[in-house]
Copies of this chain bind each other. A is one copy, B any other.
Amino acid sequence: MWAVTVDGVGTPAVLRWSQVDDPVPAPGEVLLDVTASAVNRADLLQAAGHYPPPPGASPILGMECSGTIRELGPDVTGRQVGDEVCALLAGGGYAQQVSVPAVQLLPVPPGVDLLHAAALPEAACTVWSNLVLTVGLRSGQTILIHGGASGIGTMAIQVARALGATVAVTASRQSALNACHDLGAQIMINYAEDDFVEALAAATGGRGTDVILDVVGAKYLARNISALADGGRLVIIGMQGGTKAELDINSLMRRRLGIISTALRSRPVSGPGSKAEVITAVTEHLWPLIAAGSVRPVVDAIIDMPQAGAAHRRLGQGGHVGKIVLRAPTADG
């Protein structure tokens, strides 16, 4: 098959469309003909050599895809060759075929075509696992979503609104803030112009926010803590602003605050806290929101997979709204 390979290690990495060995499904896995994958920021880190895939995972980039089941590996039940699905991957999505544990498959939600379904698994599983399974966001609460126009952000805005929360977002471009507003965000903060802590305090009568979904990490730690309402939770899912920062425990204790950090890729396949657990919850609770039309995949651009390098540059430069989808050439090349 053909797949995207990384030529050397460097920034920017050179991505090539290359012929590689076909994957073979292990027990419990299915082999998919990939319709499309989508770009995640972690892919850029992995291409630059900063985020090695977990042990046993494909070295090929790509943490999500949509496609059609081509072959069932040993010990797979309840699946049929020809089923259209999307999938959460530990790697390998930037390719014409990928092997994936059957428990990491999701159905294609009603009303979404197979191409656009590639934009869903990472954003849906990340948002649901953090907002619902980790901090239990509920109606009447406020959430601040940093990078509201990102793939994760556009999904988080819609899910939080569907849960009945008030949604604040940050972005640095007016066009991005407008897009967030159109998706349901009620408090738009341009972090390039305003201090987000002050802007959020002004918008909430000084109360702050119950939950923050953060992708910045160290650089925002102290300010995120300041932005939380009493009893609030900071959920860190990215470290674009570094990993190490001074923590003042007293600033947490006085107001009963919590900091939680999570990743999807390192979760075990099955068992407590696993990908399978997240996928079950997403299928049961988030897919119906998509079927009902209250949540939809937001796709910034559809780019042919052999041009993955251009897709990475687009994500790296910012200004996109939603997910960048990589359309795979058909299996005959």
Copies per assembly: 2
Once bound together, how far apart are the Cα atoms of A272 and B245, in whole Å? 30
Q: Could you tell me if A263 and B254 are in contact, using CB atoms closer than 8 angstroms?
A: yes
Interface size on A, residues (CB 8 A): 34
Q: Closest B-chain residue to A242, C-beta based?
A: B249
- Report if A206 contacts B (CB, 8 A): no
Q: In the complex, what distance in Å separates the CA atom of A71 from the CA atom of B272?
A: 53
User: Is A243 engaged at the interface, CB distance under 8 Å to the other chain?
Assistant: yes
Q: Are A253 and B239 in contact (CB under 8 A)?
A: yes
- Provide the A133-167 mask, 1 if CB < 8 A to any CB of B, else 0: 01000000000000000000000000000000000
The answer for the CA separation of A247 and B225 in the assembled complex, in Å, is 13
A257 located at the interface, meaning its Cβ lies under 8 Å from any Cβ of chain B in the complex: yes
Q: Does A252 contact B (CB under 8 A)?
A: yes
A233 CB to nearest B CB, Å: 8
Complex CA–CA separation, A141 to B282 (angstroms): 25
Q: Return chain B residues, CB-CB under 8 Å to A249.
A: 217-218, 221, 236, 239, 243-245, 261
Please give, as numbers and ranges, the residues of chain B lying within 8 Å of A77 by CB-CB distance: none
Contact (A258, B256) CB under 8 Å given A246-B244, A248-B243? no
With an 8 A cutoff between CB atoms, is A204 at the interface?
no
A252 cross-chain contacts in B, Cβ below 8 A: 236, 259-261
* A255 contacts across to B, CB distance below 8 A: 266
Residues of B near A260 (CB, < 8 A) are 252, 256-259
Kindly state whether residue A231 has any CB partner on chain B within 8 Å.
yes
Q: Is A262 located at the chain interface by the 8 A CB criterion?
A: yes
Q: Which residues of B contact A273 (CB under 8 A)?
A: 230-231, 256
A247 with B250: CB separation less than 8 A: no
The answer to whether A181 has its CB under 8 Å from any CB of chain B is no
Is A70 among interface residues, defined by CB-CB distance under 8 A? no
A205 CB to closest chain B CB (Å) equals 15
Distance (whole angstroms) from the CB of A201 to the closest CB of chain B: 19
Q: Given A252-B260, A258-B258, A263-B253, do A245 and B246 touch, yes or no (CB 8 Å)? A: yes
Offer 19 A-B interface pairs, CB within 8 angstroms, sorted by A.
A218-B249, A230-B268, A231-B272, A236-B249, A243-B248, A243-B250, A244-B248, A246-B246, A246-B247, A247-B247, A249-B261, A252-B259, A254-B263, A256-B261, A256-B263, A256-B266, A256-B273, A257-B260, A259-B259
Known: A254-B263, A257-B260. 15 other contacts (CB 8 A): A134-B256, A221-B247, A236-B253, A237-B253, A239-B249, A243-B249, A243-B250, A244-B248, A249-B261, A256-B262, A256-B263, A256-B266, A258-B259, A258-B260, A259-B259
Interface residues of A (CB under 8 A from B): 134, 217-218, 221, 230-231, 236-237, 239, 243-250, 252-263, 266-268, 272-273
**Which 6 pairs of residues, A with B, have the shortest CB-CB distance?**
A258-B260, A252-B261, A247-B247, A253-B261, A243-B250, A256-B262
